[in-house]
Amino acid sequence: MRLSHSQVLDAPIEHVWANFMDLEVVGRCFPGATVTEVEGDDFVGNIRSRLGPLTVWFDGAGSLTERLTDTHRARIEATGHERHGLGKATIAVAVVLSQAEGHTEERPATRARMTTDLHFYGSALEVGRGLVQRASDPLVERFLHRMASPDAATAPGEDDGDAVDLWRSATDLLGSFTGRRRRRS
């Protein structure tokens, strides 16, 4: 499944790029994630997601597999296994940073484009691309704003309770479809 996100951040491109190159900062900024070990471009960690009343933990490892400083392009790939189950997930995130329109010396702005290839195997919730895109939007928005924060490199990680509740996002989306159908009838 491929997801795409684009966000304008109120931060200089050099600052956002430096944060993306620090895997510990990436782990601190991603809601529900913890990076426990970094060695060069490789990392080990875990991520927590909520599916309604269920909490799903994935333990895994990954690498910064591409780093093109002159064009501000990077790629991170990871694989994880469900801690208490048979689920497996693979993810590849490509990030491209560019100067945002309206960028000035006094008001720097960076456009961050993320393309995510995500695959779940044995997931507790089988959902379509549209639903996953909608559920991921607030998660990625929080992540990118944290990456642009002036204190992203030194701030402690956010509480794991900040992980996105995929079940609530799914039921909100389904409720909006049901409401539209009722209005059409």
* Domains parsed from the chain with CATH numbers: 2-180 (3.30.530.20)
Coil vs helix vs strand at 98: strand
CB-based contacts of 66: which residues, under 8 Å, 6+ apart? 73, 74, 75, 94
Q: Which residue intervals of the chain are DSSP H helices?
A: 13-20, 23-29, 129-148, 166-184
pLDDT band at residue 151 under the 50/70/90 scheme: confident
pLDDT of residue 136: 67
Asked whether the predicted pLDDT for residue 176 surpasses 90, the reply is no
The per-residue pLDDT for range 3-28, each reduced to its tens digit, is 899 999 999 999 999 999 999 999 98
- Say if residues 78 and 60 touch (Cβ distance below 8 Å): yes
The angle at the Cα of 60, spanning 57 to 64, to the nearest 5 degrees, equals 130
**H or E stretch at 156:** none
Q: Mean pLDDT over residues 122-130, rounded?
A: 53
pLDDT of residue 160: 42
pLDDT of residue 70: 96
Residues pairing with 34 in the sheet: 46
Calpha distance 112→4 (Å, rounded): 11
170/151: higher pLDDT? 151
- Say if residues 121 and 101 touch (Cβ distance below 8 Å): no
Other beta carbons within 10 angstroms of residue 22's beta carbon come to: 17
Is the sign of the CA dihedral 70, 28, 56, 131 positive or negative?
negative
pLDDT of residue 132: 58
Specify the pTM: 0.76
Closest of 167, 123, 163, 114 to residue 3, by C-alpha: 114
